[in-house]
Amino acid sequence: MTHWVRTRKLPLFDDAGHMAGVVGICEDITREHAADERLRLTNRILERSREALMITNPEGVIVEVNEAFTRTTGFARTEAIGKTPRILSSGRHGPEFYRALWSSIHESGQWQGEIWNRRRSGDLYLEQLTITAVRDEAGALQHYVALFSDITELKAQQEQLARVTHHDPLTGLPNRLLLTSRLVQAMDSAGHTGRRLALVYLDLDGFARFNDTYGNRAGDDLLVRISEALRACIEADETLARIGGDEFALLLHGAEDEAGLTERLARLQAAARCAIDIDGVQEESSGSLGVACYPQPTPVAAEQLLRQAEHALYQAKVAGRQRVHFFDVAQEDTQRQRHRMLTELRLALMQGEFVLHYQPRVNMRSGALLGVEALLRRQHPERGLVPPGEFLPYIEDSLLAVDIGDWVLRAALRQANEWKSAGLAVSVSVNLSAIQLQQPDFIAYLQGCLRTHPGLGPGDLELEIVESSAVDDIAAVSRLVAEADKLGVGFALDDFGTGYSSLTYLRRLPARTLKIDRSFVLDMLHDPEDLSIVQGILGLARAFSRRVVAEGVETREHGHALLALGVEEAQGFAIARPMPAAAIPGWILDWRPYAEWATTGTQ
Ligand code: C2E
Ligand code: CA
Ligand code: CA
């Protein structure tokens, strides 16, 4: 090991004060030398360090700084030494901040964190700072050493990165990604606290048109203004996000207060109303809202809740401008059920499970058979015969209704043809659903079906359509009814009396027959109102020269009462229940009307 030695020569003096000689003293200063070396090394490192260094004495007066300090703060070494670190103070942090900082130093000897300071130039900068209290071996405070680096830019880059991945650049609002992560958290805490949250989708009405008319700049301005108005409607712990072009989403708390929620939704709608003046043209924006609440009776995930709110919004938009629609959990279950039923019934159609039963329509007085109504049933492999009321409602408006309707029409025509060939002339009535009539070229389709049975002539087929669906698109239906009439196919307005039954509609609809809904017939015996409805329908029919058929003749008394009013044509259990085609010839042979009916109303 190398030893460092310091030698000194000391003069020796005699008693008289004369120099008598010299002694050499040799000291081993290895340790001292090492300490010096360390100090020089430390100095060099600190001098070169990119981290700024500032050392103060226990009183807080700066005693040393390095080059990086000068580079960072702009203060030269000579300017800094003798001052206190207050020359760097930004004024951005309150006394509370500094108290916490010092108490940490006193307790643990160190503080670490981010702090805003001010350069000599006046610019603010953010630094990552470590302050250490340096004590000697005896524990006495000697210095405070502060090491720091400027992280202003780094921070800005980080924030920029977070902003672009989590925020919408136009409005600065959180985007869908950030909304989703906040939603996950909020749903989690709602699970613990039992509080309810509402996820609200807001979409501007007619924004695409606005953009097209006035340009993207005006569109962007509008979005920014509305985003600011919406921001004013939410609490600090709530989220407003922009999730698409003109779509915003809000995550609101406290939805258990229904009245409060309603009021807040109204405020959001008000915020979406923005008066705009573009080159003198006045426009006002408006928004539609879709709302999904959480928790729900069955567990849902965040993505699902987002879809629900979106779905509710879609329904609000379908209903018109400025609507609010709540996602309906029960309704969704119905939809799921509907979906299952559609699949099941499609399969049933393919496997030939549908059958037609026929119910005779007669003249009650003469007993003559006027026709039969084809009524659909499903021959279920386990449940047996299923009436149409249990499955038709699920398929209304679907293409399956068109396909099943097609099967019904062809099967009924085949049956009518069979009867006719066997010398049995019965007209067959077939029920149509509205969607069948809405198919393009319905008349051509009908003609095609008729052509497959050239033996059938005018009057062998009648079509029935429910009154209420006929008036939904009265112009189109009127045209179809008139064209079918030319082919020799008459129309009957089914369930008449349950729809509009107005003069205006009836005048426009050239249907030959009105079928009085069975509910009025059934109740007319004891309900004067139903009786007067029946009388009213008869009046209408007479005025427009339409035939009338009464449905629901369940008893002799019903027939009697109808005949007294002048109604002769009827269907009902008192005459016959719907039956398989094979039972019809036998029924014709057996059937006799009540003797009393032959005379009622004729005296
Ligand atoms: P609807 O067209 O009014 O058919 C008459 C319904 O009344 C039939 O019910 C029939 O069984 C029932 N009915 C007949 N007489 C009486 C009676 O005296 N009292 C009572 N309470 N009811 C009587 P069903 O067969 O269950 O059919 C119900 C409905 O399903 C039909 O009402 C019709 O709207 C629809 N439907 C049946 N088959 C078809 C079809 O092939 N296509 C379409 N689109 N709808 C059909
Ligand atoms: Ca019918
Ligand atoms: Ca009916």
Per domain, the residue ranges of the chain are 1-47, 49-155, 168-327, 355-598
Determine the average pLDDT of the residues in 129-140. 91
Q: Which residue lies with its CA nearest to atom 15 of ligand 1? A: 572
Torsion angles phi and psi, residue 344, rounded to 5: -65, -40
Over the stretch 234-245, which tens digit does the pLDDT of each residue have?
999 999 999 988
For residue 195, CA distances in Å to 190, 192, 430, 586 come to: 5, 8, 55, 69
Looking at the CA of residue 408, tell me the nearest atom of ligand 1.
41
Mean pLDDT across 444-469: 93
- Among 43-47, 123-127, 448-452, 489-493, name the one with the lowest average pLDDT: 43-47
In the predicted structure, residue 516 carries a pLDDT above the cut 90: yes
pLDDT at residue 51, rounded to an integer? 87
Rg (CA), the chain: 46
Cα of 92 from ligand 1 centre, angstroms: 80
Closest atom of ligand 1 to CA, residue 432:
44
Per-residue pLDDT band for 5 (boundaries 50, 70, 90) equals confident
CA distances (Å), 485 to each of 462, 480, 503, 513, 601, in order?
A: 10, 8, 21, 12, 32
pLDDT of 554 > 90? The answer is yes
Q: Residues 257-276: what's their mean pLDDT? A: 93
Q: Using the Cα atoms of residue 381, residue 387, residue 390 and residue 395 in order, give the sign of their dihedral.
A: positive
Centroid of ligand 1 to alpha carbon of 480 (angstroms): 23
pLDDT of the residue at 333: 76
The residue-averaged pLDDT of 294-309 equals 90
Pocket residues: Cβ below 6 A from ligand 1: 359, 375-376, 387-389, 392, 405, 408, 431-433, 464, 494-495, 518, 551-554, 571-573, 578
Angle at 199 between CA 195 and CA 204, to 5 degrees: 150
Residue in 364, 385, 392 to alter for ligand 1 test, most ligand atoms within 8 A of Cβ: 392
What pLDDT score does 426 carry?
Answer: 92
- Segment 261-274 mean pLDDT: 94
Nearest CA, atom 35, ligand 1: 388
User: By the 8 A CB rule, do 28 and 127 touch?
Assistant: no
What's the confidence (pLDDT) of residue 364?
97
Ligand 1 centroid – CA 375 distance (Å): 6
Which bin fits 303, alpha (ψ -120 to 50), beta or left (φ > 0)?
Answer: alpha
What's the confidence (pLDDT) of residue 499? Answer: 73
Taking residues 425-441, report their average pLDDT.
93
Mean pLDDT, residues 543-561: 95
Exposure string of 49-86, with b = 16+ CB inside 10 Å and e = fewer, is: eebbbbbbeeeeebebbbebbbebbbbeeeebbeeebe
What pLDDT is recorded for position 563?
Answer: 96
Give kind and range of the element (H or E) at residue 280: none
Distance CA 495, CA 515 (A): 6
- Containing H/E element for 139? none
By alpha-carbon position, which residue is closest to atom 34 of ligand 1? 431
Please report, for residues 3, 34, 38, 39, 545, the alpha-carbon distance to residue 6 in angstroms, rounded to integers and kept in the order given. 10, 13, 18, 19, 138
**Atom of ligand 1 lying closest to residue 466 CA:** 34
Residue with the smallest CA separation from ligand 1 atom 45 is: 431
Mean pLDDT computed over 494-516: 84
Position 25 scores a pLDDT of 73
**pLDDT of residue 15 exceeding 90:** no
Q: What percent of the chain has pLDDT over 90?
A: 63
The ligand placed nearest to the CA atom of residue 463 is: 2
Q: Is the pLDDT of residue 603 over 70?
A: no
1 confidence band (pLDDT: 50, 70, 90): low
Q: Are residues 415 and 372 in contact, defined by beta-carbon separation less than 8 angstroms?
A: no
pLDDT exceeds cutoff 90 at 189: no
Tokens of 559: 């027939």
SS3 content of the chain, % helix, strand, coil (to 5): 45, 25, 30
How far is it, in rounded angstroms, from Cα 31 to Cα 2?
11
Average pLDDT over residues 194-211: 90
Query: For the chain, what percent of residues have pLDDT higher than 70?
Result: 99
User: Atom 3, ligand 1: which residue's CA is nearest?
Assistant: 495
CB neighbour list of residue 312: distance below 8 Å, 6 or more residues apart? 201, 290, 291, 292, 325, 326, 327, 328
Compute the distance from residue 179 Cα to the ligand 1 centre, in Å: 52
pLDDT classification of 137: cutoffs 50, 70, 90: confident
Triad 555, 560, 562: Cα angle to 5°: 100
- The topology under which CATH files domain 168-327 is Alpha-Beta Plaits (3.30.70)
- The rounded distance, in Å, linking the Cα atoms of 40 and 34 is 10
Residue 430 CA: nearest ligand 1 atom is 41
Got the DSSP string for 365-428?
TT--EEEEEEEEEEEETTTEEE-GGGTHHHHTTSHHHHHHHHHHHHHHHHHHHHHHHTT---EE
| Ligand 3 centre distance from Cα of residue 248 (Å) | 47
Q: Using pLDDT thresholds of 50, 70 and 90, give the confidence band for residue 602.
A: low
**CA gap 151, 148 in Å, rounded:** 9
**Ligand 3 centre from 451 Cα, in Å?**
28
Q: Which pLDDT score, from 0 to 100, does residue 399 have? A: 92
pLDDT of 39 strictly over 80: no
Residue whose C-alpha is closest to residue 501's, from 548, 566, 569: 548
Determine contact, residues 84/56, Cβ cutoff 8 Å. yes
pLDDT the model gives residue 488: 95
* Mean of all residue pLDDT scores within the chain: 90
Ligand 1 atom nearest to 495, measured from its CA: 3
Determine which residue's CA is closest to atom 27 belonging to ligand 1: 388
Q: Which atom of ligand 1 is nearest to the CA of 573?
A: 18
Superfamily for the 49-155 domain:
PAS domain (3.30.450.20)
How far does residue 430's CA lie from ligand 2's centre (Å)? 7
Residue 469: the pLDDT is 78
Q: How many Å apart are CA 374 and CA 394, to the nearest integer?
A: 20
Instruction: For ligand 3, an ion, list residues with CB under 5 A.
Output: 494-495, 551
Amino acid making up residue 527: D
* CA neighbours closer than 13 Å in the CB half-sphere of residue 493: 32
Cβ(173)–Cβ(242) below 8 Å: yes
| Burial degree of 406 (CB within 10 A; 0-12, 13-18, 19+) | middle
Fold of 355-598: TIM Barrel (3.20.20)
